[in-house]
Structure 1
Amino acid sequence: MGAFRFPRAARMLKPGDFARLRQGSRRIGSRYFSAEYRTTADTAARLGLAVSRRVSKLAVQRNRLKRLVRESFRRHRAQFPAVDILVIARSAAVTTSGAELLADLELLWSKLPPPQR
């Protein structure tokens, strides 16, 4: 069960982390989310989230999207390469069911490069 936790080390928290990611990142996208990722020298993947007020004025809706992304990331984190990922929500995600959003995130995760062995 410890592999499915979402520890502080798995989160991008500092502005410098986001700035480094934006400099040399690659982009991937799906219907409800887009993402920027960058390979790192760390041992595990880290997640950053961007759900702006442009997506929804209601904090409840923005927080729902963030919870869904964190949960999906937490479940798949062990399969990811050592990357920093910034997930950006699109406006259409607000009115979509949770199951459809999770399926869309599965598609997004599948577009990440495979882990190096």
Structure 2
Amino acid sequence: MPDRCFRKDLRLLRPAEFKRVFDNTALRGSTPHLLVLAAPNELNRPRVGFVLAKKQLKLAVDRNRVKRLVRESFRQHQHDLASHDFVILARSGIVQLDNQQIREMIDSLWFRLKKPHGKHQGRKRKPRR
């Protein structure tokens, strides 16, 4: 059975790691309430980081709820994802969704960003110059 822990080495922690994802986005997935950016890494495992602005989620309880739900979903899907660094950005209006709606939304994003098995898995973007 694969290890489904959410260890520290599966998180983006440093500003330079986030900057690398923003500058070298290769895949992206979005919904009206969430945006996921992904950049390949050399670590042979996926990692995740969060950008949840106070402007979008004013209360700490809302920011923590979204992080908790996305972390749990990432933990369950980590073995299906390619070796990319993922940055999750929240958009306004996400606080009106209940937990089940957020779970379904992030699960659908992971499904779109899974390891490529076919021709049309994920949308690839050219790196910025």
TM-score, structure 2 as length reference: 0.83
- Letter paired with 1:10: L
Which residue of 1 is the match for residue 93 of structure 2?
Answer: 92
- What's the C-alpha RMSD, in Å, of the aligned pairs? 1.6
Check if 1:17 corresponds to 2:6: no
Structure 1 106/91 Cα, relative in aligned 2: closer, same or farther at 3 Å? Answer: same
- Structure 2 spans left out of the alignment, 5+ residues: 118-129
The CA distance in 2 between the partners of 1:87 and 1:11, in whole Å, is: 12
**TM-superposed deviation, 1:113:** 4.7
- Write out per-residue CA displacement over residues 15-51 of structure 1, whole angstroms, 9 at most, x where no aligned residue: 1111111111032202321011011111110000011
State the secondary structure of the residue aligned to 2:29.
strand
> Is the 2:34–2:90 contact (alpha carbons within 8 Å) kept by the matching residues of 1?
yes
State the secondary structure of the residue aligned to 2:3.
helix
- Letter paired with 1:41: E
- Between Structure 1 and Structure 2, the one with more helix by share is 1
Structure 1 115/8 Cα, relative in aligned 2: closer, same or farther at 3 Å? Answer: farther
> Is the 1:22–1:36 contact (alpha carbons within 8 Å) kept by the matching residues of 2?
yes
Tell me the number of residue pairs that the alignment of Structure 1 and Structure 2 aligns: 116
Aligned-residue identity in percent: 31
The CA distance in 2 between the partners of 1:109 and 1:31, in whole Å, is: 15
> Is the 2:21–2:85 contact (alpha carbons within 8 Å) kept by the matching residues of 1?
yes
The CA distance in 2 between the partners of 1:11 and 1:62, in whole Å, is: 17
The CA distance in 1 between the partners of 2:75 and 2:9, in whole Å, is: 12
- Structure 1 spans left out of the alignment, 5+ residues: none
